[in-house]
Amino acid sequence: MIAGIAFAVLFAAALLMVPTLPGIDKPGYDIVSHVNEHSGAMRMQALVVTFGSLALVVVLGFARVFDAPWQARALAIAVAWSTNSTCRGTRSAAD
């Protein structure tokens, strides 16, 4: 239950953490400068989403069906793959 609450809180915080981008009618320089100014907040959002994904892994691990082992393995593989994709997608270009 704690992992479910952590998942909900972390994902909600991640959604509210990053300021909105400039409109589509703005020139590219304004968008690039906005991203440069708020890069720390964007990195923090990526970190919070990663921790939220780990909490989701715990929730899904407890929610799996114990009398159907192949479904449990498929769920574990799918969750691990999606978490790995999320974590790899949040790395910065400098890494």
Tell me which residue of 74, 1, 88, 77 sits closest to 46, measured CA to CA.
88
Neighbouring residues of 76: CB distance < 8 A, sequence distance ≥ 6 = 61, 64
- Which single residue is written with the structure tokens 């799918």? 78
d(CA 58, CA 75): 12
Which ranges in the chain belong to alpha helices (H)?
A: 2-17, 28-37, 39-63, 69-89
Q: How confident is the model at residue 95 (pLDDT cuts 50, 70, 90)?
A: very low
- Which single residue is written with the structure tokens 């964007």? 42
- The pLDDT of residue 72 is 65
Average per-residue pLDDT for the chain:
75
Residue-wise pLDDT tens digits, 39-77: 888 888 888 888 888 888 877 777 665 555 666 667 667
Domain ranges of the chain: 2-89
**pLDDT above 50: residue 81:** yes
